Amino acid sequence: MIHVTYERADDQRREEQPSTAADNTSVYRELRESNQLSKYWLIESPEVLETAKNVIRYYPKHRKLAVHLPDYCTRDCQTHIGKGVGLNLDALQDEPDVLHRLIEILQEIESSAS
């Protein structure tokens, strides 16, 4: 479960703990790509890869890759996403040198793990 603040249609802000992205649309402004591009994590369910120290979330439809610290629970048992950074994969299309270097880095990591 993710703890997120949503913007209501009447511009009030409210915090909730949604179970899925689909559950969030009843009270709040309809989430569509045209008006909520910056909230892709609410529209699309990611492919999630977890390690002991990172959580990687891949959003193929929106071409985003997010790397986070592990999710954590607060004292009141709410689960939160750890701090992280996102990568816009469309931006890599304009920078082939950056893309090739990123691939090289990942291949180095893979070969050192073997």
Q: What is the pLDDT of residues 13-58, one digit of tens each?
A: 444 444 444 554 444 556 555 655 567 888 889 999 999 999 999 9
Residue 87, by phi and psi: left (phi above 0), alpha (psi -120 to 50) or beta?
A: beta
**Three-class SS of residue 104?**
helix
Domain boundaries, the chain: 1-43
Mean pLDDT of 86-92: 90
Whole-model pTM over 0.85: no
